[in-house]
Amino acid sequence: MTTRIPGIHHVTAISGPAQANVAFYTGPLKQRLVKKTVNFDDPGTYHLYYADPKGSPGTVLTFFPFADAGPGQAGPGMASAYAYAVPAAGFDALIADLKAVALEVSAPSLRFGERVVTVKDPDDAPVELIESATATDMHGFHSVTLWEREPDKTARILTDVFGYEAVGSEKLNGVERLRLKAPGAERGNIIDIIRTDAVVRGRPGKGTIHHVAFRARTQDEQHGWQEALARVGHRTTDVIDRQYFNAIYFREPGGVLFEIATDPPGFAVDEPEATMGTKLMLPPQYEPIRARIEQVLPKLTVAS
C-alpha cells in the first residue's frame, strides 16, 4: 500500500437551482461539465460533476443542487472553501474576464506568498483563485480549507496517517492558518486548516461544502487506508460503489466528513470522453424509471 495520500480527488458541495450552478461553473469559471447524473440516494436530484476535459482526479468539483435549499453558513467542523490553482500568466486576465461579466472579485491578498482572490458563486459560496507558478491550466485544485476548533487533532490525521507535511503557518486578521502539503506535485495536494476566535456556528445548506474526498490510486490502496484508519480508531464505512469511483467515508476529529475515493474507473466508464456530460447518465438501478426521473429533473443548458 502507498503510505501517503497524493492529494484531493474531489470536493462535493450543495447548491441551489441547478441551471444557475451550471451557468456559473461552465461559463465564467470555464470548467467542463463531465458528468450529469443523479444523487444515488435521491434520484429526483441531480449530481453534477465539473472538472478538466478528462475528469482527472484533483480537478473534480461536484454539486447536489437542491432548488429549495436554504442558505448555509460555513463554521467550525466544516470545510469552508476550495481554491483553484490559476497559471500566473493568466491570473490577471481571468480576474478581468470575471469583472467583465459583472462578477464581484475581492482585492488580491497574499497567502503564503501567492496572490489570492475570491469570487462568489450564485449561492454565495466563496470560490478562491490562487496564482500558481506551477499550474498549467485553470482546472486543478490548489487547496481546500478546513475550519477547526482544535486544528492539532485534524492535523495529526493528515500528517501521521495520510502522510501530509506541515509546511508553514501564518496569521491574518485574527485567523490562524496552518498549511499541510502532500509530498509530490499532484493537483490539489494542499490542505489549509484555519482557527479563529470568532463565534460562528456552521449550518449546512446551499453554498456550503458537503465533504472532501482524498485520492486512492487503486482499490488495494483504498483497502489499505481502511486498515490504517482503523488502527488509529477511525472506522470507515464499507466500500460504496459510486459508479465512477469507489468510496469510503469517515468523520475526522473536528467533524468534517472525509472520503477516500479511487481513481478508477473514471468518468469515461459509461460514455465516450468526447461527449461526457451531455447526456443524463443513470446507475443501473434507476434505468427502469428513467422516464420518470427525466420528467422531474429540469433541463440544463451548458455555457458555450
Q: Quick: pLDDT tens for 245-296.
A: 999 999 999 999 999 999 999 999 999 999 999 999 999 999 999 999 999 9
Q: Which three cell numbers stand for residue 48?
A: 453534477
Distances (CA, A) of 16 to 64, 119, 207, 230: 8, 17, 8, 36
Task: Write down the domain spans for the chain.
Answer: 8-296
* pTM of structure: 0.96
- Omega into 43 within 30° of 0, i.e. cis? no
Residue 229 has pLDDT above 50, yes or no: yes
Strands 32-39 and 8-15, by their bridges, are unpaired
Q: Which of 205, 202, 292, 295 is nearest to 254 (CA)?
A: 202
The CATH homologous superfamily for domain 8-296 is: 2,3-Dihydroxybiphenyl 1,2-Dioxygenase, domain 1 (3.10.180.10)
Contact 257, 247 (CB under 8 A): no
